[in-house]
């Protein structure tokens, strides 16, 4: 089948989701883990009796126990409590920056692809430069210059995540622009806004959302990396990257302090990647038609 | 026929789908003699291409299953292990494919790709391989073969690539060549060259050829015997002449009746419908000619003067203009109400761009397009939107022409709402009427495009184009992607609509036989220019320009009795419409042949 | 508190009293002539500071790229030719897991396992002349980045191979009687290299950024540690120099990517 370049038209979102997950069973695992993490983060107080900020000088660097499932840190704070409250920070910053990048990036891509010409050339040149420059370094410099506040971190991560969304939106827009049904729209006298919003955007939205789930993983990773370097949300607010950073300072005698948040990050990113990968397979028409 | 070289018995190929195994080829049997050409004919989904892949055991093993036997030189190909089969493929049985543009490996030189088979099967050394590759490249008549041996495929045109494919396939002198639609993707003059080449090489090498095609004209040109397939079954097999003169099976009769034959409209001025042959029903015979003739005495509906569209090609760091595609060059014609003017020509001649320029889907560089006396070039905003109610377009690919997410009823109603002609509810009622008008059920309005067949989708596109009650429809290769029987139905629909609504058509096509059937007048385009224009009969029966003659003589005629009457064409490519930035198109001189028949004097 | 006079003197010395365009031209001019000023913290020339650590970063990136390609390309090909079989699923899930590692997590885990628990490698990378010492200092850092590279290259290779294996010219090669392993190597992989080169070239930029994390964990000198130090100490002349060098690296990597692509694709003419 050469003509079915567009994803087939789903009857409803739910139906589509179920079909997606039947194609790729590992995405179920990703979704379940992710939902679990979100539930635990949102209802964090229900999952621990400890205050993540409460220090206890009598229990510094104590190992895992019944009282403290994953032990305590150098201030005697409960690692599990810090972990699940830290998930809030990771998820909030990750989601906020990804949503911003998604909105800005795909708008740029859509408009650049549709209007082409000089606007396209300039925008894509900017995107290419942004994409090629090491994103972590760029994020580092922005956060260091503006100060390590939540909005600044969100801004820095969002900025470095815009180019992939611009690209993922632009390529199919250009392809669709040449498509005969879009030419038909033009010859029927539809406005640009109508063509873009009614006839192009819905056909590329799925790809953008898939990209979003993959870049959410990246945003969480970047936030943790910044915190690990020491440019994250300021202590004592728990963040996963910050926990690994302080755990790393005690790695010779209290390895779990670094290992537990490391695994937490790994699991969440892995879950997001599983989910995004499964979704991508389901959305990718080339793979779907063979399956 | 003599001892067959290839003997196929009960070939059954099935594919695994969601509902289990589905047979695509069902118990096919045939013999192929030495030096014989057997054409396997069928429409899409008939299983003809799968047959070819099955014989070479190229059907993917994961979800395909091939049963039966295919004897070649005493061995059953279908039961050979893969290792044995590798020694036979390309050696005793070879294959060429439909898409010459994608069938060659882009990162290996042409010489490497030809010599690969020789090294594999003949165990030749470097020097011998090179000499032999050069020899075979010469045999497929590629000019300057010695230089071209070390070039990569992207430097070759489609026709030349198909020659390379043939060279590769024939390098080891196979006993059987399977050619799967080898000329379908090529222009008609190039197709004629390739058919000539295959025929002469067959004589030279003494091989049997299985020629798979959907084109009855090509069959008449090349086949000794014909095998007709329908949905995986063989429905008829016989000598070519017998199949064309006395087809035994109803499907073969329908298939032949649906094929327009160039030259069959001699002495008629108006377009004529194709015989009606909906499946199951026998040919009802040609229906009456449309009862309305074009309004030649009124002011023309559309008047195009000096239309020129060029595309700039930029290259280098500074993106300087390195050349221009002269897609449309000083094109002038007029179109009366109720008239069909066809623009014909081969790929790259600018016929599509002409249509798109008139509709302002691409911006022309200069010229004038007057529609009902109003100048369309330079019109903007509201005026242009209003103009678009009067001019509509139908496109080639029925799969790409509809938004896959929008139900067809809404797609047809949308333009009515956008132009404020009616409210949503009334628009949907009109959409239902339109569906009925194009021969579909009004109840189908809620269905999505993927639930329709290609022919039905094209009907939906016509309905959508009619939604704004246009006066002119530009039909860009509108029936080219459809199977012959479907094509005839859609053409008939278009002719019916013309006579009932008084539509004018600008019918853009590469297919001379179809054009003859539907046109009042024909304009022949070559390298962006109209080289000859006139009444249909004048162009077909009395072509003046050398290119028109070449084009007409290259069209395969579905009549085996007329085979071999065409002079052979030299191996050459279509010239390119790309010119240097400082190119100035020459002044053209026109000669009037007869009333309304104009020809450009060859420069 | 600095006195007004000393501040004015400092401004003059740094050229901050002149207009912005003049400062910029001055900066570009001296950057091109190799004079990037002195570090505001150590007082040593910025160029010297950067050139001292640059080889470490290049070495780390190059070795991890080699590791990544050596593991990733064969794994990706293997998965693609065994599409939808157990091998394919295993490789896909494993590569997805590898791709999920933040660079510092893989570094911390490797350090913990091989340097602290097993004591096969030193905790802190030292640099001395011998090959053995070099090997000891590079292995864990390169592995921690190489693991992510390998995962990435595996995925890119797999999808590029799947695409290429469905191309018409692969069918042509099979119709010629070319054996399957040769089809995969000679016809498919050579074409699949093109997208691999492009995507890996882009990823290399990201990885050069990520090496900052590896350098912190293994306490290894490099650009990353230098820039973190400069940020912490607000060493603006150093930061300026760092931004220039990162830009130069990006340009250089792009150039290498283009050259590699040109070598692999005959349709691209190298000028």
Mean pLDDT of A81-107: 91
What are the backbone angles phi and psi of residue A189, rounded to the nearest 5°?
A: 80, 25
Q: How far is A128 from chain C, CA to nearest CA, in Å?
A: 10
Number of Cβ pairs < 8 A linking chain A and chain C: 106
Percentage of residues of chain B with pLDDT beyond 90? 38
Q: What is the pLDDT at residue C10? A: 66
Q: Quick one: tokens of A61?
A: 């660097």
Q: Which of B89, B107, B109, B318 is the mutation pick for testing C, counting most C CBs within 10 A?
A: B107
Does the pLDDT at position A22 exceed 70? no
Model confidence over B406-457: pLDDT tens digits?
Answer: 999 999 999 999 998 888 999 999 999 999 988 899 988 999 888 888 889 9
pLDDT of B325 over the 80 cut = yes
Question: A137 to chain C: which residues are within 8 Å by CB?
Answer: 209, 212, 224, 227, 246
For residue B358, give the chain A residue with the closest CA.
A187
pLDDT band at C30 (very low <50, low <70, confident <90, very high): low
Which residue is listed with tokens 């789930």? A213
From B388, B393, B450, residue closest to A9, measured CB to CB: B450
Among all residues of chain A, which has the CA nearest to that of B385?
A189
- C-beta of residue A145 within 8 angstroms of C-beta of residue C242: no
* Chain A nearest CA to C209, separation (Å): 5
Please give the span between the terminal C-alpha atoms of chain B, in angstroms, as a whole number: 51
Mean pLDDT score, B544-548: 92
Chain A neighbors of C154, CB-CB under 8 A: none
Nearest CA in chain C to A262: C105
Higher pLDDT, B44 or A154: A154
- Residue A90's H or E segment, with its range, is helix A79-115
The pLDDT, as a whole number, for residue A23 is 62
Q: What is the pLDDT of residue A286?
A: 46
CB contact under 8 A, A188 and B418: yes
Question: What per-residue confidence (pLDDT) applies to A276?
Answer: 85
* Stronger pLDDT, B321 or A223, i.e. the higher one: A223
Mean pLDDT in chain B? 87
Across the interface, of B397, B448, B465, the residue whose CB is closest to A9 is: B448
Of C176, C180, C264, Cβ closest to residue B117: C176
Residue B293: what pLDDT? 76
C1-21 mean pLDDT: 66
Mean of pLDDT values over C110-122: 80
Which residue would you say has higher pLDDT here, C125 or B54? B54
How far the first Cα of chain A sits from its last, in Å, is: 12
DSSP letter string over A227-249? HHHT-SSPTTS--HHHHHHHHHH
Neighbours of chain A (3+ CB pairs under 8 A): B, C
Tell me the chain A residues in contact with residue C90 when contact means C-beta distances shorter than 8 Å: none
Confidence band (pLDDT; 50, 70, 90) for A249? Answer: confident
How far does C78 lie from chain A, in Å, by closest CA?
18
Q: Which residue of A has its CA nearest to B462?
A: A184
- The model's confidence at residue C136, banded by pLDDT at 50, 70 and 90, is confident
DSSP assignment of B473-523 equals EEEESTTTTS-HHHHHHHHHHHHHHHHHH--EEEEEES-HHHHHHH-SEEE
Are B6-257 and B302-405+467-600 the same fold in CATH?
Answer: yes
Residue C20: per-residue pLDDT: 67
User: 3-state DSSP helix/strand/coil percent for chain C, to nearest 5?
Assistant: 75, 0, 20
The per-residue pLDDT for B450 is 86
Tokens, residue C3: 């006195």
Contact (CB, 8 A) for A126 and A109: no
Residues A64 and A166: their CA atoms lie apart, in Å, by 46
Interface contacts (B, C; CB < 8 Å): 79
Contact C177 B103 (CB under 8 A): no
Best A8, A187, A202, A283 member to test B by mutation, with max B CBs in 10 Å, is A187
pLDDT tens-digit profile of A35-62? 998 888 888 788 777 777 777 777 776 7
Chain A positions in Cβ-Cβ contact with residue B356 (cut-off 8 Å): 183
CB within 8 Å of chain B, chain C residues 72-111: 84
Q: Is residue B117 less than 8 Å (CB to CB) from chain C?
A: yes
Report ipTM for this prediction.
0.81
Going by C-alpha positions, the residue among B586, B444, B569, B467 that lies closest to residue B528 is B586
| pLDDT the model gives residue B368 | 93
B418 and A187 within 8 Å at the Cβ level: the answer is no
Across all residues in chain C, what is the average pLDDT?
A: 84
Residue A65 has pLDDT above 80, yes or no: no
Report phi then psi at B3, rounded to 5: -60, 125
Percent residues over pLDDT 70 in chain A: 85
Predicted pLDDT at B280: 43
Burial class (CB in 10 A: 0-12, 13-18, 19+), B101: middle
Mean pLDDT, chain A, rounded, equals 81
Structure confidence at residue C71 (pLDDT) = 95
Chain C residue nearest residue A27, CA to CA? C93
% of chain B exceeding 70 in pLDDT: 96
Nearest CA-CA distance, residue C194 and chain B, Å: 10
Query: CB of C191 within 8 Å of any CB in chain B?
Result: yes
Say whether pLDDT at B187 is over 90: no
C-alpha B356/C-alpha B474 separation (Å) is 9
A130 with A162: CB under 8 angstroms? yes
CA C2 from centre of chain:
42
In this structure, of A256-265, A273-282, B107-116, B569-578, the range with the lowest mean pLDDT score is B569-578
Determine the average pLDDT of the residues in A252-262: 81
Residues B301 and B336: beta-carbon distance below 8 Å: yes
- Above 80 in pLDDT, residue A66? no
Q: CA of C208: which chain A residue's CA is closest?
A: A134
Report yes or no: B62 at the C interface, CB cutoff 8 Å: yes
Chain C residue with CA closest to A215: the answer is: C100
* C212 vs A137, A259, A286: nearest CB: A137
List, for residues B282-317, the tens digit of each pLDDT value: 444 444 445 567 878 788 999 999 999 998 887 766
Higher pLDDT, A97 or C123: A97
Minimal C-alpha gap between A8 and chain B (Å): 7
Residue B588's pLDDT band (cuts 50, 70, 90): confident
Asked if B110 is an interface residue toward chain C (Cβ–Cβ < 8 A), one would say: no
When mean pLDDT is compared across A234-243, B561-570, C18-27, the lowest value belongs to: C18-27
Nearest-by-CA chain C residue for A255: C112
Burial of B3 (0-12, 13-18, 19+ CB in 10 A): exposed
Touching chains, B (3+ CB pairs < 8 A): A, C
Out of A194-203, B259-268, B272-281, C82-91, least confident range: B272-281
How many Å apart are CA A241 and CA A126, to the nearest integer?
30
Contacts of B177 in chain C (CB under 8 A): none
Residue A288 has pLDDT above 50, yes or no: no
Using a CB–CB cutoff of 8 Å, tell me whether A131 touches chain C.
yes
Q: Tell me the mean pLDDT in the region B563-574.
A: 71
Go through the domains of chain A in sequence order and give each one's CATH number: 37-42+70-290 (1.10.3720.10)
Q: Searching chain B, which residue's CA lies closest to the CA of residue C178?
A: B86
Put simply, the answer to whether B58 touches C174 (Cβ < 8 Å) is yes
For residue A229, give the nearest of C97, C205, C228 by CB distance.
C228
Residue C150 confidence (pLDDT): 94
Among the listed residues B470, B498, B8, B429, the one whose alpha carbon sits nearest the alpha carbon of residue B210: B8
Task: Average the pLDDT over A216-245 and give the result.
Answer: 86
Determine the residue of chain C that is closest to B103 in CA distance: C169
Set of chain C residues whose Cβ sits within 8 Å of the Cβ of A138: 209
Q: Inform me whether the C-beta atom of residue B395 falls under 8 Å from chain A C-beta atoms.
A: yes
Residue of B268 and C204 predicted with greater confidence: C204
**Greatest Cα-to-Cα distance within chain A, rounded to the nearest angstrom:** 78
Pick from A141, A225, A270: CB nearest C96: A270
Lowest mean pLDDT among A99-108, A273-282, B120-129, C188-197: A273-282
- The matching CATH number, chosen from 3.30.360.10, 1.10.10.410, 3.40.50.300, 3.40.50.2300, for B6-257 is 3.40.50.300
So where are chain B's domains? 6-257, 302-405+467-600
**Touching check for B57 and chain C: CB below 8 Å?**
no
The C-alpha angle with vertex B311 and arms to B308 and B316, in degrees rounded to 5, equals 150
- Pick the range with the lowest mean pLDDT from B224-228, B517-521, B577-581, C211-215: B577-581
Cα R_g (chain C), whole angstroms: 23
Question: Can you read off the two tokens belonging to residue A150?
Answer: 């939540």
pLDDT value for C73: 95
Q: Give the pLDDT of residue A13.
A: 53
Backbone angles phi, psi at C256, to 5 degrees: -60, -45
The CATH T-level fold of domain B302-405+467-600 is: Rossmann fold (3.40.50)
The answer to whether B346 and B480 are in contact (CB under 8 A) is: no
CB contact under 8 A, B415 and A190: yes
Question: Does position C159 have pLDDT exceeding 70, yes or no?
Answer: yes
Q: Is B396 on the interface with A (CB under 8 A)?
A: yes
Residue B379 pLDDT > 60, yes or no?
yes
């Amino acid at each position: 089948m050469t003509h079915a370049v567009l994803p087939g038209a789903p009857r409803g979102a739910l139906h589509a989701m179920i079909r997606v997950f039947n194609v790729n069973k590992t995405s179920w695992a990703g979704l379940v883990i992710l939902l679990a993490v979100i539930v635990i983060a949102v209802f964090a107080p229900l999952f621990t009796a400890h205050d993540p900020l409460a220090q206890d000088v009598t229990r510094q660097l104590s190992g895992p126990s019944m009282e403290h499932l994953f032990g305590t840190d150098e201030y005697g704070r409960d690692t599990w409590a810090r972990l699940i409250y830290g998930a809030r920070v990771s998820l909030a910053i990750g989601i906020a920056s990804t949503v911003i990048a998604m909105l800005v990036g795909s708008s740029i891509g859509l408009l650049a692809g549709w209007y082409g010409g000089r606007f396209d050339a300039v925008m894509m040149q900017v995107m290419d430069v942004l994409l090629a420059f090491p994103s972590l370094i760029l994020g580092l410099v922005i956060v260091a210059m503006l100060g390590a506040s939540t909005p600044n971190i969100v801004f820095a991560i969002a900025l470095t995540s815009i180019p992939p969304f611009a690209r993922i939106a632009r390529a199919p827009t250009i392809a669709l622009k040449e498509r005969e049904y879009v030419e038909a729209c033009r010859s029927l006298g539809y406005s640009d806004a109508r063509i873009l919003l009614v006839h192009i955007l819905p056909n590329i939205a799925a790809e953008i959302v898939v990209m979003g789930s993959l870049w959410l993983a990246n945003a969480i990773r970047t936030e943790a990396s910044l915190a690990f370097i020491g440019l994250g949300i300021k202590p004592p607010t728990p963040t996963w990257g910050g926990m690994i950073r302080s755990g790393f300072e005690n790695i010779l005698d209290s390895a779990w302090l670094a290992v537990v948040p490391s695994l937490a990050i790994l699991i969440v990113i892995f879950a997001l990647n599983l989910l995004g990968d499964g979704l991508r397979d389901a959305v990718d028409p080339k793979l779907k038609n063979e399956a | 026929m003599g001892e067959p070289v290839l003997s196929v018995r009960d070939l059954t190929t099935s594919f695994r789908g969601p509902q289990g195994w589905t047979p695509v080829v069902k118990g096919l049997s045939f013999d192929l003699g030495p030096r014989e050409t057997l054409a396997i004919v069928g429409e899409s989904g008939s299983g003809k291409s799968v047959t070819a892949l099955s014989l070479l055991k190229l059907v993917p093993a994961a979800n395909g299953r091939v049963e039966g036997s295919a004897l070649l030189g005493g061995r059953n190909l279908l039961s050979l292990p893969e290792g044995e089969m590798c020694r036979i493929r390309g050696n005793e049985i070879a294959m060429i494919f439909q898409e010459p543009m994608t069938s060659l490996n882009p990162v290996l030189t042409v010489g490497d790709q030809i010599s690969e088979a020789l090294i594999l099967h003949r165990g030749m050394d470097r020097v011998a391989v090179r000499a032999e590759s050069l020899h075979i490249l010469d045999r497929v008549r590629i000019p300057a073969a010695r230089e071209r041996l070390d070039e990569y495929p992207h430097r070759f045109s489609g026709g030349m690539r198909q020659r390379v494919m043939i060279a590769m396939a024939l390098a080891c002198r196979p006993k059987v060549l399977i050619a799967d639609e080898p000329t379908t993707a090529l222009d008609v003059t190039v197709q004629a060259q390739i058919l000539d080449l295959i025929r002469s090489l067959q004589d030279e090498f003494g091989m049997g050829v299985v020629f798979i095609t959907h084109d009855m004209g090509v069959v008449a040109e090349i086949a000794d015997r014909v095998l007709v397939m329908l949905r995986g079954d063989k429905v008829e097999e016989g000598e070519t002449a017998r199949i064309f003169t006395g087809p035994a099976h109803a499907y073969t009769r329908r298939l032949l009746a649906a094929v327009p034959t160039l030259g069959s409209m001699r002495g008629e001025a108006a377009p004529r419908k194709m015989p009606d042959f909906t499946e199951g029903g026998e040919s009802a015979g040609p229906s009456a000619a449309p009862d309305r003739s074009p309004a030649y005495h009124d002011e023309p509906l559309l008047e195009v003067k000096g239309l020129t569209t060029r595309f700039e090609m930029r290259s280098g760091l500074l993106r300087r203009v390195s050349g221009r595609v002269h897609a449309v060059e000083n094109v002038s014609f007029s179109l009366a109400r109720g008239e069909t003017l066809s623009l014909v020509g081969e790929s790259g001649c600018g016929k599509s761009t002409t249509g798109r320029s008139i509709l302002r889907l691409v911006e022309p560089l200069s010229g004038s397009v007057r529609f009902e006396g109003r100048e369309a070039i330079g019109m903007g905003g509201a005026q242009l939107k209003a103009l678009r109610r009067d001019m509509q377009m139908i496109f080639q690919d029925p799969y790409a022409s509809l938004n896959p997410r929008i139900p067809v009823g809404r797609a047809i109603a949308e333009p009515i709402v956008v132009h404020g002609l009616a409210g949503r509810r009334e628009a949907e009622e009109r959409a239902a009427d339109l569906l009925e008008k194009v021969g579909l059920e009004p109840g189908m309005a809620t269905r999505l495009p993927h639930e329709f067949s290609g022919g039905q989708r094209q009907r939906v596109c016509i309905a959508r184009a009619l939604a704004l009650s246009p006066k002119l429809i530009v039909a860009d290769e509108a029936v080219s992607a459809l199977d012959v029987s479907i094509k005839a139905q859609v053409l008939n629909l278009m002719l019916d609509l013309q006579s009932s609504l008084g539509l004018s058509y600008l019918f853009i096509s590469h297919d001379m036989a179809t054009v003859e059937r539907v046109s009042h007048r024909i304009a022949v385009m070559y390298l962006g220019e109209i080289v000859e224009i006139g009444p249909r009969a004048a162009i077909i029966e009395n072509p003046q320009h050398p290119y028109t003659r070449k084009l007409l003589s290259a069209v395969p005629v579905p009549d085996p009795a007329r085979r071999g009457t065409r002079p052979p064409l030299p191996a050459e490519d279509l010239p390119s419409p790309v010119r240097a930035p400082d190119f100035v198109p020459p002044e053209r001189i026109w000669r009037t042949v007869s009333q309304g028949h104009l020809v450009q004097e060859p420069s | 508190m600095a006195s007004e006079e000393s501040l004015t003197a400092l401004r003059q010395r740094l050229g901050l009293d002149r207009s912005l365009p003049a400062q910029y031209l001055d900066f570009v001019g001296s950057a091109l002539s190799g004079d990037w000023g002195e570090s505001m913290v150590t007082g040593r020339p910025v160029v010297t500071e950067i050139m001292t650590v640059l080889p470490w970063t290049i070495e780390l990136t190059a070795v991890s790229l080699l590791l990544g390609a050596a593991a990733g390309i064969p794994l990706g090909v293997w998965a693609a030719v065994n599409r939808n079989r157990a091998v394919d699923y295993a490789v896909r899930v494993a590569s997805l897991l590898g791709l999920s590692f933040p660079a510092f997590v893989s570094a911390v885990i490797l350090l913990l396992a091989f340097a602290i628990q097993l004591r096969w490698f030193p905790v802190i990378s030292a640099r001395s002349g011998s090959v053995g010492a070099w090997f000891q200092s590079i292995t864990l850092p390169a592995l921690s980045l190489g693991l992510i590279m390998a995962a990435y290259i595996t995925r890119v290779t797999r999808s590029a191979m799947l695409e290429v294996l469905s191309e018409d010219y692969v069918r042509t090669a099979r119709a010629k009687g070319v054996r399957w392993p040769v089809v995969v190597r000679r016809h498919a992989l050579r074409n699949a290299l093109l997208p691999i080169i492009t995507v890996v070239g882009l990823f290399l930029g990201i990885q050069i950024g990520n090496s900052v994390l590896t350098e912190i964990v293994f306490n290894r000198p490099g650009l990353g540690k230098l820039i973190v130090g400069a940020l912490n100490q607000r060493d603006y002349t150093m930061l300026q120099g760092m931004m220039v060098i990162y830009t130069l690296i990006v340009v250089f990597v792009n150039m290498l990517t283009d050259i590699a692509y040109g070598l692999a694709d005959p349709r691209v003419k190298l000028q």
